[in-house]
């Protein structure tokens, strides 16, 4: 039995194959455990990429506003105050 | 003091903006050592890594925009003052849980300051309700996962050949059609799928490594 290579399975999972090729691969997958496992791995990988895309969009929304400058300039003041307190108590 | 001498808000912000050019992430242990001695790069890295996570957690605690900024600042101050004393021991607990404890405690402090009628030390039903409300644990785990994934993406960029990463970025992350990627990057279609496979395998490896370190 000739197995399906990974690139072809990637194309199959993403729908980037002709109708006839899709039918042939679907038939093969029914009878081939190794290729079915590889198909499942590809789908798991795609789920990871979907999660990554959402996570990146969440962080990009955070980065749109200029928060860092405000945080760091306040931080500098607070650190100065806490350092002076420490020096006074020593 | 060393940190104040080297800490210039505008300089740090310009470095944070160009985060893609900075070095790959330190481990938590080395990052904590860097910030405990006021290392500027350490602070930039801490902000880059953890500010979005702290911001999101602040949202779970129903803090306002200004309060969330205060929360980031207060957590960073806590890390600065306690990082030298904190001994990272994986046997004693996960860094993820340590971070949550710090963020939640600073969040409670902000909530107390907000309501001036509340005296320090009292059990505050309202604040406790927020902390233990249904879904808080799940939201934290989900936010931590997003944090890990964003860290992994930065490491992935360093780990792959530039063209491989570009293909992955356009095809997998931005969802471009393969034909468009082919034309734009002048690559063959087969190399798009090969690059994607390589990137996804590497991504999985990096995520597993980061999760084990936390």
Is A84 inside any structural domain? yes
Is A1 inside any structural domain? no
pLDDT exceeds 70 at position B118 = no
Whole-model pTM over 0.95: no
B196 CB neighbours in chain A (<8 A) are: 10
DSSP calls for B10-33:
HHHHHHHHTGGGSPPPPPHHHHHH
Does A84 contact chain B (CB < 8 Å)? no
pLDDT exceeds 50 at position B2 = no
Q: Which pLDDT tens digit goes with each residue over A67-85?
A: 666 666 666 666 666 555 6
Q: Is A71 close to B150, i.e. CB distance below 8 A?
A: no
Instruction: Count A/B contacts: CB-CB distance under 8 Å.
Output: 108
- Residue B86 CA to residue B82 CA, distance in Å, equals 6
DSSP calls for B119-179:
PTTS--HHHHHHHHSTTHHHHHHHHHHHHHHHHHHHHHHHHS-HHHHHHIIIIIIS---HH
Q: Is B12 close to A72, i.e. CB distance below 8 A?
A: yes
The first and second tokens of residue A47, run together, are 């789920």
Domain that residue A33 falls in? 6-89
Total count of domains within chain A: 1
Which chain A residue has the Cα nearest residue B70?
A71
Average pLDDT for residues B8-27, to the nearest whole number? 42
Q: Is A69 close to B13, i.e. CB distance below 8 A?
A: yes
Is A16 inside any structural domain? yes
DSSP calls for B40-52:
HHHHHHHHHHHHH
Per-residue pLDDT band for B196 (boundaries 50, 70, 90) equals: very high
Per-residue pLDDT band for B76 (boundaries 50, 70, 90) equals: confident
Q: Is B197 close to A10, i.e. CB distance below 8 A?
A: yes
Q: What is the ipTM of this complex?
A: 0.78
């Amino acid at each position: 039995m000739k197995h399906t290579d990974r690139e072809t399975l990637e194309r199959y999972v993403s729908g980037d194959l002709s109708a006839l090729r899709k039918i042939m691969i679907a038939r093969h997958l029914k009878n081939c455990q190794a290729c079915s496992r590889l198909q499942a791995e590809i789908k798991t990988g795609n789920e990871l990429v979907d999660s990554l895309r959402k996570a990146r969009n969440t962080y990009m929304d955070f980065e749109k506003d200029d928060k860092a400058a405000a945080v760091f300039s306040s931080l500098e003041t607070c650190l100065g105050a806490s350092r002076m307190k420490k020096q006074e108590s020593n | 003091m060393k940190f104040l001498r080297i800490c210039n808000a505008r300089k740090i912000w310009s470095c944070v903006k160009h985060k893609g050019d900075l070095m790959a992430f330190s481990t938590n242990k080395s990052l904590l050592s860097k910030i405990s001695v006021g290392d500027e790069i350490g602070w930039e890295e801490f902000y880059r890594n953890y500010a979005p996570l702290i911001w999101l957690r602040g949202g779970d605690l129903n803090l306002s925009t200004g309060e969330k900024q205060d929360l980031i600042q207060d957590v960073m101050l806590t890390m600065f003052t306690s990082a030298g004393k904190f001994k990272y021991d994986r046997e004693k607990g996960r860094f993820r849980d340590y971070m949550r404890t710090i963020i939640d405690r600073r969040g409670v402090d902000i909530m107390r300051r907000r309501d001036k009628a509340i005296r320090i030390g009292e059990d505050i039903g309202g604040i406790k309700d927020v902390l233990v409300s249904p879904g808080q644990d799940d939201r934290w785990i989900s936010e931590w996962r997003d944090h890990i994934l964003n860290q992994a993406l930065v490491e992935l960029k360093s780990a792959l050949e530039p063209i491989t990463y570009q293909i992955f970025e356009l095809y997998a992350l931005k969802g471009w059609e393969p034909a468009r990627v082919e034309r734009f990057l002048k690559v063959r279609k087969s190399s798009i799928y090969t690059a994607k496979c390589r990137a996804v395998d590497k991504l999985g490896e990096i995520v597993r490594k980061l999760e084990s370190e936390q």
